[in-house]
């Protein structure tokens, strides 16, 4: 270890950057994966796996959910593959895989059937993008007619041939009526 | 989930519904999703029990379907483009078409549809080309109506992000514009410098407009040099001439599907034929740099031999450790220039 620790070396930066997974990104712009919904909406959830134990008490909600609801949900969503995977003595979990390659997992330990159902539907309706604080992007449905404004966008063309400074372009312009203008316009009788 | 845990048949069934064609049989999907290299896999060749994935289904690969599907995708996409860009030349439509149907774009769509998980291939990870080929092969097994839906649902939406000024970069847009306008009866076309500012600065700006018959401004644009500004203005004028403006409305979804696109099978006019014989209608070749880069070695040698000999090594060179952002020995500039006994006396 050198006596003076370095903070601008590649290794510590790289090590720190490895930890910057999506969990640490707090804000992002609103995105839809693969232009979904512009022409047709396809569910971005591709497969969902329910892991549970057949015996343990912590899986009871998941077991009830599988028994009562999962077939109906599968019938309504033919584009999603649902796997039910019994694993002995494990904490129950629901793992969802999305079109963008991300995986989301919810620990369903000690959940009731209603809670499992709620989380299951949450995973169904998500796009797979991480949940972040959304930032607004400056956008408009119709782009500006004049194009991007530059300092020379609305300069009068008469200025082209004039040698500056010229009197007519040096006048102060104001929307408010000055006292002089008011008196000139409303002459006392 | 790894392939060893997923059920290939269920995945195929779900995929059929996802892409909107559940009526196609599983075997046909398997054929379309089988890459030629799959049968060279060691586990498939040696007929290992439970070779991955679904090796027992089918012995055909998608080589033929790829060619067929590529053609059919292109036909429908071009029909859609001709419907929207009726006044544009066929060359523009071709370049948009080849951009949207290149490996990169199609592999992106295929990835989001989950095709990457289903393709049976030797390579891992799957290459962009195999992924895109699998998507093309799907168009090969679909009915004509379904291919139309495939194009409208998955390929056409990418048009919202396409910049039409960049996708067809003519090498000499002003000459092309001149030819097209002269065919419409305009006698004189001239680019005029409307404004300029900061000619000697790092960010000069020149605003150029193209005038037809000294009366009408047909296109106007800014640029960092006069030649660039003329080119940009001419491109702008061409896009206006072809009715490709930012307020155009593209049809998507059901609205696009209800258009009788079959009527737009005839190619639009060819730009090469419409222009005069000598006009340059080729595209910019971005791969060749137009100017040679600055000679770095010469600059370094000049600094070392001439500048260095005169002024000596700077503080930032001699005392590098004191300037480094990551060093605890960093000193402020005021500290370094503080008068010391040996500098004063």
Q: Which of B264, B221, B269 is nearest to B242 (CA)?
A: B269
- The reported pLDDT for the residue numbered B248 is 86
CATH 3.30.160.20 applies to domain B165-248: yes
User: Token digits for B266?
Assistant: 């005839």
CB-CB contact of A134 with A29 (8 Å): yes
Instruction: Select the residue from A81, A100, A153, A162 to test the B interface by mutation, using most B Cβ atoms within 10 A.
Output: A81
What angle do the packed helices B63-84 and B128-141 form, to 10 degrees?
80
Average pLDDT over residues B212-230: 93
Q: Where are the domains of chain A?
A: 43-135
Q: Between chains, do B17 and A8 touch, taking CB under 8 Å as contact? A: no
Q: Which of residues 131-160 of B touch A (CB under 8 A)?
A: 152-154, 156-158, 160
Q: Between chains, do A95 and B1 touch, taking CB under 8 Å as contact? A: yes
Render pLDDT for B105-144 as a digit per residue (tens, 0 to 9): 999 999 999 999 999 999 989 999 999 999 999 999 999 9
pTM: 0.80
Q: Between chains, do B14 and A78 touch, taking CB under 8 Å as contact? A: yes
Q: Between chains, do A152 and B256 touch, taking CB under 8 Å as contact? A: no
In CATH terms, are B8-162 and B165-248 the same topology?
no
Q: Which of B152, B157, B138, B145 is nearest to B15 (CA)?
A: B138
- B208 lies within 8 A of chain A by CB: no
d(CA B317, CA B304): 13
Q: Between chains, do A42 and B18 touch, taking CB under 8 Å as contact? A: yes
CATH topology (fold) of B8-162? Ribonuclease iii, N-terminal Endonuclease Domain; Chain A (1.10.1520)
Task: For chain A, give percent helix, strand, coil, nearest 5.
Answer: 30, 15, 50
Identify all chain B residues contacting A7, using CB atoms and an 8 Å cutoff. 325-326
CATH 3.40.30.10 applies to domain A43-135: yes
Q: Between chains, do B247 and A39 touch, taking CB under 8 Å as contact? A: no
Q: Between chains, do A97 and B329 touch, taking CB under 8 Å as contact? A: no
d(CA B62, CA B133): 8
d(CA B185, CA B198): 37
Q: Where are the domains of chain B?
A: 8-162, 165-248, 296-344
- The reported pLDDT for the residue numbered B52 is 61
Render pLDDT for B14-27 as a digit per residue (tens, 0 to 9): 999 999 999 999 99
Digitized pLDDT (tens) for each residue of chain A, 189 residues in all: 556 656 667 777 777 666 665 455 678 888 889 999 999 999 999 999 999 999 999 999 999 999 999 999 999 999 999 999 999 999 999 999 999 999 999 999 999 999 999 999 999 999 998 888 888 877 666 777 787 787 788 888 788 788 888 998 888 888 888 888 888 988 887
Identify all chain B residues contacting A78, using CB atoms and an 8 Å cutoff. 13-14, 17, 22
How far from the centroid of its chain's Cα atoms is residue B86's Cα? 22
Tell me the nearest-neighbour CA distance from A183 into chain B, angstroms. Answer: 39
Reduced to 3 states (helix: H, G, I; strand: E, B; else coil), residue B71 is helix
Candidates A39, A155, A160; nearest CB to B252: A39
- A93 lies within 8 A of chain B by CB: no
Q: For this complex, say whether ipTM is above 0.85.
A: no
- A101 lies within 8 A of chain B by CB: yes
């Amino acid at each position: 270890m050198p006596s003076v620790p370095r903070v601008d070396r590649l290794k510590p930066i790289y090590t720190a950057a490895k930890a910057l997974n999506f969990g640490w990104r707090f804000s992002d712009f609103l995105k839809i994966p693969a232009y979904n919904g512009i022409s047709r909406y396809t569910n971005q959830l591709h497969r969902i796996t329910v892991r549970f134990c057949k015996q343990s008490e912590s899986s009871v909600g998941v077991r009830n959910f599988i028994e009562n609801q999962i077939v109906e949900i599968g019938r309504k969503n033919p584009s999603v593959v649902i796997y039910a995977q019994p694993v002995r003595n494990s904490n129950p979990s629901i793992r969802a895989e999305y079109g963008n390659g991300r995986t989301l997992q919810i620990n369903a330990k000690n959940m009731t059937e209603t809670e499992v159902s709620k989380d299951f539907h949450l995973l169904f309706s998500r796009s797979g993008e991480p949940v972040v604080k959304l930032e607004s992007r400056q956008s408009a449905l119709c782009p500006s007619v004049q194009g991007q404004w530059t300092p020379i966008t609305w300069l009068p063309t008469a200025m082209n041939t004039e040698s500056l400074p010229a009197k007519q372009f040096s006048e102060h312009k104001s929307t408010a009526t000055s006292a002089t203008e008011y008196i000139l316009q409303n002459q006392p009788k | 989930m790894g392939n060893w845990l997923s059920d290939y048949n269920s995945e195929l069934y779900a995929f059929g519904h996802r892409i909107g064609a559940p009526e196609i049989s599983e075997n046909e999907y398997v054929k379309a999703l089988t890459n030629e290299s799959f049968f060279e896999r060691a586990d498939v060749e040696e007929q290992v029990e439970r070779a991955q994935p679904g090796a027992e289904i089918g012995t055909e690969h998608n080589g033929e379907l790829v060619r067929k599907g590529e053609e059919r995708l292109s036909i429908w996409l071009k029909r859609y483009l001709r419907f929207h860009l009726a006044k544009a030349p066929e060359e523009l439509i071709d370049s948009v078409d080849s951009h949207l149907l290149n490996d990169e774009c199609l592999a992106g769509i295929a990835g989001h549809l989950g095709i990457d998980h289903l393709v049976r291939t030797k390579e891992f990870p799957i290459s962009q080309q195999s992924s895109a080929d699998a998507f093309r092969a799907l168009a090969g097994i679909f009915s004509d109506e379904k291919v139309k839906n495939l194009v409208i649902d998955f390929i056409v939406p990418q048009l919202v992000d396409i910049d039409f000024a960049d996708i067809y970069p003519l090498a000499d847009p002003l000459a092309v514009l001149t030819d097209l306008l002269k065919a419409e009866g305009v006698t004189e076309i001239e680019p005029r410098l409307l404004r300029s500012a900061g000619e000697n600065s790092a960010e000069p700006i020149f605003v150029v407009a193209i005038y037809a018959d000294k009366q009408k401004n047909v296109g106007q644009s800014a640029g960092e040099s006069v030649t660039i500004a003329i080119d940009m203005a001419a491109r702008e004028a061409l896009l206006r001439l072809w009715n490709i403006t930012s307020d155009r409305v593209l049809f998507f979804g059901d609205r696009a599907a209800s258009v009788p696109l079959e009527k737009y099978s005839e190619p639009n006019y060819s730009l090469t034929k419409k222009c005069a014989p000598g006009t340059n209608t080729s595209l910019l070749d971005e791969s060749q740099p137009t100017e040679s880069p600055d000679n770095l070695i010469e600059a370094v040698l000049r600094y070392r031999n001439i500048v260095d000999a005169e002024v000596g090594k700077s503080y930032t060179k001699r005392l590098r450790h004191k300037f480094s952002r990551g060093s605890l020995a960093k000193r402020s500039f005021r500290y370094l220039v503080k008068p010391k006994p040996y500098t004063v006396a």
